[in-house]
Amino acid sequence: MTNIGIFDSGLGGIAVLNELAKKNKANYFYLGDNLRVPYGNRSKAEITSFATDIVNFLEGYDIDYYIIACNTISVTCKDYLREKFKKKFITIADMAIEAAMEYDGDYLALGTKATMESHFYKTTLEAKKPCKVYESKAIDLVNLIEGGVLEGATLNGALDEYLSIANEKKLANIILACTHYPIIKGEISKRLDYKANIIDPAVFLADNIKTDDGANGVNIFMTKESQETSALIKKIMEVDYKLTFIGGL
Ligand code: DGL
């Protein structure tokens, strides 16, 4: 029986969890810290401290290994978490690089302020292959998605701003470098005025983890109860799950 801990600052990782649980049987323990979301505009010290709180909570469930389903946490403190908890942490950001390597041409990495300011995508991909990686800080997207704004004028206005460099240069590939963004993948596609490859690392991650060992339980813990949260989880998840609101860490 494999117990997998998986976490994000909020709802984004739910889409990663869904992909995983559809394809690989295991016991999943998911924590989304929607009480303190977004993490992407916070300092390195704060993100590291919040991520430590999350893992301390999940350690109560006899976890075999972790999946960091949050780019912001991945690029900010994956090494710190590995060192502190002495466990394996697979990161969505590393998986995203592997997924992106399968495509030719230049890239737009679309992510949070913290992820883009780390330059992880630009530095890593440009060192691995001849390409140019443009970076776009999508500062408001996580808040809009967590608030249930999944379409409409406000979202379109934000997307037009964050995708402007892609539309201007007709970049071949758009990397969804924040796990919240696959939730609005269709809207992202509609705001591009040309055809691009939209790379969703969650699909790649789920295809590259194999744990079919008979167990199959999906436990979701969220730190703040809200109707939008319950509704979005219901909309995203295609397998059975148990949702518990824990009211903070
Ligand atoms: N889903 C998180 C990520 O992948 C969102 C970060 C946030 O809370 O701002 O980066």
Q: DSSP letters of 20-50?
A: HHHH--SEEEEEE-TTT---TTS-HHHHHHH
Residue 74's nearest CA partner among 178, 182, 203 is: 178
Positions of the chain with pLDDT under 50: none
How far, in Å, from the CA of 50 to the mean position of ligand 1?
13
What pTM did the predictor assign?
0.95
Q: Which residues line ligand 1 (CB under 6 A)?
A: 8-10, 12, 37-40, 70-72, 112, 115, 142, 178-180
Query: CA-CA distances (angstroms) from residue 104 to 31, 172, 179, 196, 200?
Result: 35, 8, 22, 11, 16
pLDDT of residue 211: 75
pLDDT of residue 214: 72
Residue linked to tokens 């924040």:
178
pLDDT of residue 127: 98
Domain architecture of the chain: domains with CATH: 3-91+205-245 (3.40.50.1860), 94-203 (3.40.50.1860)
Look at the alpha carbons of 84, 87, 88, 90 in this order and tell me if their dihedral is positive or negative: negative
pLDDT of residue 237: 96
| Residue 220 phi, psi (nearest 5) | -115, 125
Q: Catalytic one among 70, 90, 177, 183?
A: 70
Check residue 175 and report its DSSP letter: E
Torsion of CA 14, 27, 221, 229, to 10 degrees: 30
Gap between the Cα atoms of 58 and 151, Å rounded: 33
How far, in Å, from the CA of 90 to the mean position of ligand 1?
16
